[in-house]
Structure 1
């Protein structure tokens, strides 16, 4: 009885109950005390975890928070159960379910790849690219790529002009381009893609794509022409980061390594033995790489020199 009353009080206190607002973002960890007062968690307590198949992450430098995508359970078990967690830079939980605390006004089935650009969160969700306000979590738009053949969108990157590039890892093995107004088209179709996964936009506006099927790190111009190929230390790759100085970091989800490729150099392994090292992100404030670990339901943290 007490648990039911507490849950009810918490929901009434922390949810905006207005007819004008359907979507509600989650709030930082806290409870309602016996006096009925909302009580944030004490700063001397840290909570870790909160993930359900952590596939990718991205970083919000304005709030100094990591956004972790949680794909949830297989859709045959439960549809529309994906969510986004806010994580502090030390790995402790800020908001367990930020996008996804309520399903009102929200569709987020199985979020995989993610990217942030100009105050917008972009998420690859099966055959749709969904966008959210980075400050509030409010859903903004849904760009279907299904008519162009997408059925398993995975890696995602966003250019400075708002053009979206997203990989489709299963057949048809492609990278799609979605214009800022939502029009989807095929950017790269087939070879040299071999189970394409991670996608990034480099400092020259070119599109960098990695494969699960080999160790190629491929750079395409905006016409879809392959202009350069480099090589990670291992194959089975998932995540790609390109930093401001042009250094590339690649994660192998199959073999658990992080490769670093400096401009003009060969790949070196800077970390290994990481189970299911998925779609990594770069925390530019703490200068660290954050490593989602899929069904290990965890994030790894790799400080950089």
Structure 2
């Protein structure tokens, strides 16, 4: 049974106020593109004839910034909730733009275990499972905007943001989809079947919420009232990431079985790629028309041209 929008907590403003009082006592700075200090002690950006790949530490998800034509990769850092998560900026060819953009300094920053990520408006959302908070960052400056505490215990995972500042968040172990409003209040958006260890979350052009399960192959579409309006299935289960293109085509990545399924508007599913180790929460690069797939402990990204 789906329990729609069950109210949980309305202390988002208090959380925000506490967060800002801490953040304002420290200076926040983002990292710079790759470079080094020369013999004179001056910082020099890396020359254009050099290409660097890598800069990952257990990348769980990515999201794409079309304005800057950059991939933002969430890095969990060391396990156990230590405060060493960071965000890398990656060029569309997979080379490194900025190895640590958010996370170059810990001053004014807490980012423990970033899992899912999403861009909406001018905001980067990430689900920080290490502190069990949804964190928002300014997409231009990288500066922290807010940190919203999520009640209960579990594993917060996939996230999809809306332009009005609201977001939808999966808790995989609790089998819940939360809705976080723009004022910071948290409510249960959906729970119970057909959710089966929900993981990736995305929005379609109509504002519907699409969820994939790691517990089976289901691809579930909810309307904004929390009602199931469509059920589809990927070819394989164990799914992590989901992206929805403007034409309604869905792509689903299986972290357990290493495949990517394409689901057309009629619900027909087929595998377009396979054998990708730990294919996690992918993103869609709309400018290069490609899927970008983090590979968790493999510390790498996979690219699929569409």
TM-score when normalising by structure 1: 0.90
- 1:165 is aligned to 2:163: no
Q: Distance in 1 between matches of 2:194 and 2:26?
A: 46
Q: Does structure 1 conserve the Cα–Cα contact (< 8 Å) formed by 2:26 and 2:107?
A: no
Q: Whole-Å Cα distance in 2 between the matches of residues 150 and 208 of structure 1? A: 23
Q: How far apart are the structure 2 equivalents of 1:113 and 1:151?
A: 14
**Residue 301 of structure 1: how far off its partner (Å):** 0.6
Give the deviation of 1:227 after TM superposition: 1.1
Partner of 1:63: 68
Mapped to 2, the partners of 1:150 and 1:56 lie a distance apart of: 21
2:158 is aligned with 1:137: no
- For the aligned residues, what is the CA RMSD? 1.3
SS at match of 2:279: coil
- The answer for the alignment partner of 2:305 in structure 1 is 303
Q: Secondary structure, in 3 states, of the residue corresponding to 2:109?
A: coil
- The alpha-carbon deviation at position 199 of structure 1 amounts to 0.4
Choose between structure 1 and 2 for higher RCO, CA contacts under 8 A separated by at least 6 residues: 2
2:111 pairs with 1:108: yes
Distance 1:238 1:265 in 2: 19
Summarize the Cα distance change of 1:150–1:202 in structure 2 as closer, same or farther, 3 Å threshold.
Answer: farther
Using a 3 Å threshold, how does the CA distance of structure 1 residues 20 and 142 change in structure 2: closer, same or farther? closer
Gapped regions of structure 1 (runs ≥ 5)? 1-18
Shift of 1:73: 1.3
Q: Relative to 1, partners in 2 of residues 1:129 and 1:241: Cα closer, same or farther, differing over 3 Å?
A: same
Match of residue 126 from structure 2: 123
Map of 1:185 onto structure 2 = 187
Per-residue deviation at 1:131? Answer: 0.3
**Structure 1 residues 20 and 73 mapped into 2: Cα distance closer, same or farther (>3 Å)?**
closer
Change (3 A) 1:122 1:150: farther
Q: Distance in 2 between matches of 1:154 and 1:302?
A: 23
Aligned length: 281
- Paired with 1:223 and 1:83, the residues of 2 have a C-alpha distance of 34
For residues 240-272 of structure 1, the C-alpha deviation after alignment (integer angstroms, 9 at most, x for no partner) is 000100000000000000101110141111111
CA distance in 1, matches of 2:232, 2:191: 20
Displacement of 1:165 in angstroms is: 0.3
Structure 1 196/230 Cα, relative in aligned 2: closer, same or farther at 3 Å?
same
Aligned 8 A contact 2:204 2:248 in 1: yes
Give 1:188 shift: 1.0
Q: Secondary structure at the match of 2:148?
A: strand
Measure the CA separation in 1 of the matches of 2:192 and 2:29: 41
List per-residue Cα deviations over 1:260-285 (Å, max 9, x = no partner).
Answer: 11101411111110000000000001
CA distance in 1, matches of 2:220, 2:153: 21
Residue 49 of structure 1 aligns with which residue? Answer: 54
- Kept in 1: contact 2:232–2:267 (CA 8 A): no
In the TM superposition, residue 223 of structure 1 has moved relative to its aligned partner by 1.4
Q: Which residue of 2 aligns with 1:230?
A: 232
State TM-score, norm by structure 2. Answer: 0.90
- Look up the match of 2:98: 95
Gaps of 5+ in 2: 1-23
1:277 aligns with 2:279: yes
Matched, 1:289 2:287: no
Match of 2:42 among 37, 44, 56: 37
Q: What is the deviation of 1:159?
A: 2.7
Offset from partner CA, 1:115-155 (integer Å, 9 cap, x none): 00111100001121000010110011111112xx2532100
Q: Give 2:219's aligned residue.
A: 217
